Structure 1
Amino acid sequence: MDKKKLLEKKDWEYYVFEENSSIELSIPVPNPSPGFDIIYVLNESEKEMYLHTGIKALEKRIEDMKINFSSYKMNSWR
């Protein structure tokens, strides 16, 4: 069984994990209360761009996740 491996982080901004050959982006947001981690699994195109360019390749996705958080998987902090 594979475990999540932290690839990169900027505390309270973003966290990038790898698990079972997929890459997951997690963004913490304090609102709505009690706060949530917004989760997105990169598609193949985004994964290749991230592996080639780094976090810059995900800037637009991160902004979209902050604005449209309800369109993504949300894990409550509680």
Structure 2
Amino acid sequence: MSEKKLLEKKDWNYYVYEEGNNIQLSVPIPKPTPGFDVLYTLNESEKEKYLYTGIKALEERIEDMNMNFTNYEMNSWR
């Protein structure tokens, strides 16, 4: 089993992790209570853009995750 490695973060805005061959984006949201981490695993196209361009490539995804969080996997802070 591979270890989850933090690639970059902007506290309380986003966290980008690499685990094996996958890159996962985590966006913390305080509401609904008790707060959640909204999670998304990048597809191959997004992964390539991120590795080439950096976090700029994920700005629209982060915005969507903040607004439409119920469309994503969510982990409660509790």
Q: Taking structure 1 as the reference length, what is the TM-score of the superposition?
A: 0.99
* SS at structure 2 position matched to 1:57: helix
Separation (CA, whole Å) in 2 of partners of 1:46 and 1:52:
10
TM-score (norm 2): 0.99
Match of 2:47 in 1: 47
Structure 1: runs of 5 or more not aligned? none
2:35 is matched with: 35
Percent sequence identity is 71
How far did residue 47 of structure 1 move? Answer: 0.1
1:20 CA drift (Å): 1.2
**Corresponding residue SS for 1:17:** strand
Count of residue pairs the alignment pairs up: 78
**AA at the equivalent of 2:17:** F
The SS at the match of 1:50 is: helix
Residue deviations 1:8-60, cap 9 Å, x none?
00000000000011000000000000000000000000000000000000000
Within 2, Cα distance between the matches of 1:69 and 1:24?
15
Structure 1 residue ranges, 4+ long, deviating more than 3 angstroms after superposition: none
CA RMSD, aligned part only? 0.3
Unpaired stretches in structure 2, ≥5 consecutive residues: none
- Alignment correspondent of 2:63: 63
